[in-house]
Each structure stands twice: as C-alpha cells, then as structure tokens.
Amino acid sequence: MTTDLEQIISGIKTSYNRSNLRDVDMEALASKRTPEQKLGCLLQAAPEESNNQYRINFDPMQNTFLNKLVSGSVIGKKINIDAKDFFKGVIFLDYLTNVIFGDYAVIDEVYQLAKELEKVDKNLDPTLKLIVKYSGMHYFQQFRKEIILKDLINVEDKNKGDIGRRYRAGHRRTNYQKDASENRSEYGAYSATLCQVSPIYESIGSKIYSFLTNDTVKEKICEAKSTYEVKAAVFVDSILEVLTDTEMRTEVEATIKKGDYYKSSMLAIASLSKEVNTAAFDNYVGGMIKKKTRNS
C-alpha cells in the first residue's frame, strides 16, 4: 500500500515538473520565435485602431493589417501612394499625422502633389521616399527656429508637450501586456513567447518585417510592447532610407537601439528636416519624372 502511494506521489511530481509554467525556460522558448511570430503575437493581442471592412481592394490579411495599424481618420483620407509602398506608407503617414503633427494637412498636400504628378504621367504616383522627403520639409516649416538652433526640447515646448502626450496615449492604449485578451493577460511579459499566433497575424508580422531596411530597426522592432512602438519603428526605418548624413543616422540608430522608439522618431524627423530643402526635393521629383519617361 505504501509503495503504491509513493508511486502516485512520484507521478504527480513528475507531471508537475513537466507542466508548471514557472519551470519553463522562457529564454529558450523566445529564441525559437521568429521576428514575424513575435510581431504577430503583439498585434494579435493589441486592440484595433479602426474597424473598416474593405470588400474590394484588400484580402482578409491586408484588411486586418490596416485595422490593427492605421487609424480610421487616416484611412478615410484620400491617400495616393505607389502600390509597392502602400502598406509601409500608410503606417508612416499614420504616425506622422496622429503623433508628430496632430492633424492631417500633410496627407491633403501629398494628394495634391499626386494630382500634379498625374498631369505629367497618369501612372506616376508618389513613392514613400518622396512622401518622406516632403514630410521633412513640412516639419521644417513648422519648427524651423528650433531645428536651426538644434533645440529639440523646445519642439515639445512649442506644442505644450502635445507630441509626447499623443504618443504616450497611443502607447498606453495599444500596449499588448495591458490590453491582451483574458486568456493571454496572465502571461504578462511572456505574451509574445507563449501565445499561439494565428497564421493571419504571422503573415502580418512577415509583411511588416519584409519592408524594413535598417538592421537596427529590424532587431529592435521585435521587442516592441505596443502598436505605437511598432509604428514608431516603421516611421524611423522609412526616414533612415532617405537620410544621408552619417552622424545623424548613427544618432538615430543608437537611440532606437536603446529601445526609445519615441525619441528615435523625433530625432529622425528633425534630422531629416535639416537635410531636406526645396532644391533637393525638386531634384528628386525631376528624377522621378525622367526615370518614368525613360521607362515608358
């Protein structure tokens, strides 16, 4: 009888050791997750930014992508971006308008620019690089004094802290550790490691990861804890594609490497605005038109 009881107790202990979450090697589990899966888990748990149903132009994955990452205010605007840049471009515009500027004037301006390009060639649409450069000019016009004096703090002061406040509000709202659905919230910081990511969200993670070009951004985006940190990382990556000043690029990359997504985005747009001017922008547009003409 005693022997049978000892065997039962031993079996219980063995089962406990196999199943208790406290005994799971989280680092080992995390190392097996791909960047695409980590991004997918985050977005799967995060609340939606919009809830539109696109019946004609987008498949279910693309529909979910837009609803998770783009606000209804942005997606409701007239947006004209070269097809290959569309999904990365709308994230860039969402962050630019909802965090940096707090209004949507730049989207209207880009739409007018698209109409002008169409007069030259009906198949010529604004590329993301063109939109990024234009955004740098728009930012400079708004904060020229602070940029010239290299005083990023006063950019915040001029807005009475509104830029940071908009970012923090979005970060809190979309933080997956706080807003995760009930069956995942108990895992806290391990949500991205333990969650069962659905194929559609893994596809969204793959899509995001595929259009990133900067190695530092690709490394850090997997550590994001909110949709707004993901947006900030995509925003920074978009700017680093056109930013040429080596010193400024290094500073932006060093900041995002520390995990400060917001500060990195502020440094990126301020650095870009100092580098972009009207002549450079006109040259870029002229180059687009010449390239299109040669290929026609």
Backbone angles phi, psi at 175, to 5 degrees: -70, 115
Q: Rounded CA gap, 84 and 87, in Å? A: 8
Q: Which amino acid is at 229?
A: E
What is the amino acid identity at position 124? L
* pLDDT band at residue 182 under the 50/70/90 scheme: very low
User: Residue 211 and residue 233: Cα distance in Å, rounded?
Assistant: 12
Residue 189: the pLDDT is 42
The 3-class secondary structure across 183-199, one letter per residue, is HHHCCHHHHHHHCCCCH
Q: For residue 51, report the phi and psi dihedrals to the nearest 5 degrees.
A: -140, 45
Helix axes 105-120, 278-295, angle to 10 degrees: 40
Q: How far is CA 76 from the centre of its chain?
A: 19
CA distance 48 to 96: 19
What is the number of domains present in the chain?
Answer: 1
Task: Give CA 150 to chain center in angstroms.
Answer: 26
Distance CA 93, CA 113 (A): 15
Domain that holds residue 119: 38-290
22 domain-assigned: no
Q: State how far the Cα of 115 lies from the Cα of 31, in Å rounded to an integer.
A: 48
Look at residue 209 and tell me if it is in a domain.
yes
45-68 tens-digit pLDDT: 999 999 887 666 788 899 999 999
**Average pLDDT score, the chain:** 81
User: By the 8 A CB rule, do 129 and 114 touch?
Assistant: no
Q: What is the pLDDT of residues 67-109, one digit of tens each?
A: 999 999 998 898 889 999 999 999 999 999 999 999 999 999 9
Domain-located, residue 162: yes
Specify if 20 maps to a domain. Answer: no
93, part of any domain? yes
**pLDDT tens column, 265-296:** 999 998 998 888 655 666 666 777 777 677 76
Least confident of 4-18, 40-54, 115-129, 262-276: 4-18
**How distant is the alpha carbon of residue 90 from its chain centre?**
10
Within-domain flag for 54: yes
pLDDT, mean of residues 113-127? 87
Contact at 8 Å (CB) between 235 and 89? no
